[in-house]
Amino acid sequence: MHNIVQDSVKDYYGRQLQHTGDLKTSTCCDISAMPAWLKPVFEHIHPEVLSRYYGCGLVCPPLLEGCRVLDLGCGSGRDVYALAQLVGPTGEVIGIDMTDEQLAVAVKHKAFHVQSIGYDNVRFLHGYIERLDELDLEPGSFDVIVSNCVVNLSPDKDAVLRGVQYLLKDGGEFYFSDVYADRRVPAAVRDDSVLYGECLGGALYWNDFLRLAHRHGFLDPRLVTDRPLQITDPALAPRVGDVRFFSANYRLFKLGDLETACEDYGQAVIYRGTIPYCAERFVLDKHHAIDTGRVFPVCGNTWRMLHDSRFASHFDFIGNFERHFGLFDGCGSKLPFDMNTSLSGSGGTCC
Ligand SMILES: C[S@@+](CC[C@H](N)C(=O)[O-])C[C@H]1O[C@@H](n2cnc3c(N)ncnc32)[C@H](O)[C@@H]1O
């Protein structure tokens, strides 16, 4: 069964789609919606690579210099070549994909990018994101794992998150963009090969995603950005029924001490304003835009995400875990996505 799904996805991305414009939803968004600091990075990327981009978000978190990054389902390599510039010559980026045609485009343009970027810090591997332990990658060796619109396509999402836990360093993060549904996707949608290939059929109901993350030790998934998806092909829209789909970026930190809820220990952080391109504020997630210099109260989990990760040296930390004050205000469990379908609301968060 898993192989049938994967063969159908390979056929979709290897043979049926040739360009971003062949997609039948608003999953992809254009380069003009990117933050200004990232635009020059994408301008260094080969046009054929850009033209075969099928992601649904932006997987470029700040502070990557010197990091070792893995891209799950890298496709033709757009994000790998962008991340290669962000990690710099002392970092490394490895892209994994199962579709030969996609990888062939990525590999074909490697020499072009070595030339335009000025160094060679990229590798592409053929492989399955459900079988990361079979690749020759050292456990616990990645600072950041990214993925752009791929996990929804996997028939075994438990295996994917197990592999992510296995390969991340302590304090590292899985920063990824994917498609989610506001309810469990009915069988008719799941079994439709076009809807599946378009990243809708395999999308998780958002609350099932949170359960999946918990099962694999990611106890406090943080939503960073989200936007509703439109099905632009009129023939396809009726086939999804009432299900609403969203593209969302989550970050999952590999931190052993996180709790399942935001608990209040009376702690706070002060951002020093020292992360490149984030002089005014640092955005950890949708609910934590931390202004430079401000005493910013945080729950125990947020404190740990900043204190026990690559962000630590950019913050001052106030408090400890000695005294507990109950649940942190605003720790909720409603639908986390914005229902507003206007794209203007997505601002610079889009890809
Ligand atoms: C929607 S495309 C996204 C590609 C790329 N991340 C981008 O942003 O352009 C999905 C990609 O994931 C790859 N993929 C899907 N399932 C996979 C799996 N189980 N293992 C490895 N690659 C997979 C496909 O081959 C395809 O290239």
| Same-domain status, 124 and 151 | yes
Does 29 contact ligand 1 (Cβ within 6 A)?
no
Total domains in the chain come to 2
Does 196 contact ligand 1 (Cβ within 6 A)?
no
| Cα 304 to ligand 1 centroid, rounded to whole Å | 32
**Over 80: is that where the pLDDT of 28 sits?**
no
| Cα 79 to ligand 1 centroid, rounded to whole Å | 12
The residue to mutate among 150, 164, 194, 245, having the most atoms of ligand 1 within 8 angstroms of its beta carbon, is 150
| Same-domain status, 102 and 242 | yes
- For residue range 57-105, list pLDDT tens digits in order: 999 999 999 999 999 999 999 999 999 999 999 999 999 999 999 999 9
* Residue 324 falls inside a structural domain: no
pLDDT for position 5: 85
pLDDT for position 265: 97
Does 176 contact ligand 1 (Cβ within 6 A)?
no
Q: Which domain holds residue 275?
A: 267-318
Last residue of some domain: 253, 282, 302?
253
| Same-domain status, 178 and 307 | no
| Cα 134 to ligand 1 centroid, rounded to whole Å | 18
**Over 80: is that where the pLDDT of 340 sits?**
no
| Same-domain status, 147 and 293 | no
Does 75 contact ligand 1 (Cβ within 6 A)?
yes
Of the listed ranges 226-235, 268-277, 315-324, the least confidently predicted one is 226-235
| Same-domain status, 214 and 138 | yes
Q: Is the CB of residue 70 less than 8 Å from the CB of residue 138?
A: no
CA dihedral sign, ordered 143, 147, 152, 157: negative
CA 264 – CA 197 distance, rounded (Å): 43
The stretch 122-145 carries a mean pLDDT of: 97
| DSSP secondary structure of 184-239 | PPPHHHHT-HHHHHTTSTTPEEHHHHHHHHHHTT--S-EEEEEEE--B--TTTGGG
- For residue range 271-299, list pLDDT tens digits in order: 999 999 999 999 999 999 999 999 999 99
**Over 70: is that where the pLDDT of 350 sits?**
no
**Over 50: is that where the pLDDT of 348 sits?**
no
Does 132 contact ligand 1 (Cβ within 6 A)?
no
At 17, which CATH number?
A: 3.40.50.150
CA 315 – CA 292 distance, rounded (Å): 9
* Residue 201 falls inside a structural domain: yes
**Over 60: is that where the pLDDT of 165 sits?**
yes
**Over 80: is that where the pLDDT of 334 sits?**
no
Is pTM, for the whole model, over 0.85?
A: yes
